[in-house]
Amino acid sequence: MQQRAVQAQKNIVETAIDAGQFTTLVAAVKAAGLVETLSSPGPFTVFAPNDAAFAKIPKETIDHLMENPTQLAEVLKYHVVSGTHMADDIVKMRSIKSLQGSDLEVDTTRGVRINGVSVIQPDIVCSNGVCHVIDSVLIPK
């Protein structure tokens, strides 16, 4: 219980840094210039791909995105939703609009899936929202 209270005091970026499983995501957020946004009061809901999720993408693709901050920001904003949406809220939705502008499809027939990507750890509470760990990177169409 003590750990949860400490974690809730950190914003999304600080929580991702401290977790140790989001090094690529944190590097991408920095490269895209989104640290200030995701550290602001929000609130935000982030579908956060862990390092294993980023490892599924070819290195050339990651390198290309890291060298193109505008394109990288669009991919990252595709993982962020305005407002705090806990897992209990998300399972009642059919879709949810990302900050990138596109809708994310919610499917609960086999666990919770966002655009076909599994939520593997829901409800990591932060001072400015919530993160849900996902097992693949969401790519906008």
Domain total in the chain? 1
Give CA torsion, residues 91, 71, 54, 51, to 10 deg. Answer: -80
- Per the structure, the complete domain to which residue 66 belongs is given by 12-134
Global confidence as pTM:
0.91
Is 113 part of a structural domain of the chain?
A: yes
In the DSSP assignment, the letter for residue 24 is H
Is 78 part of a structural domain of the chain?
A: yes
Is 99 part of a structural domain of the chain?
A: yes
**How sure is the predictor about 9, in pLDDT bands with cuts at 50, 70 and 90?**
confident
Is 3 part of a structural domain of the chain?
A: no
Is 102 part of a structural domain of the chain?
A: yes
Is 130 part of a structural domain of the chain?
A: yes
CATH number at residue 66: 2.30.180.10
Structure token digits, residue 98? 């990302």
Is 139 part of a structural domain of the chain?
A: no
Specify whether the CB–CB gap between 114 and 122 falls below 8 A.
Answer: no
Tens digit of pLDDT for each residue in 62-75? Answer: 999 999 999 999 99
The CA distances from residue 97 to 31, 41, 77, 85, in Å, are: 24, 19, 10, 12
Tens digit of pLDDT for each residue in 73-99? Answer: 999 999 999 999 999 999 999 999 999
CA–CA dist 104, 3 (Å, integer): 31
Is 2 part of a structural domain of the chain?
A: no
Tens digit of pLDDT for each residue in 10-43? Answer: 999 999 999 999 999 999 999 999 999 999 999 9
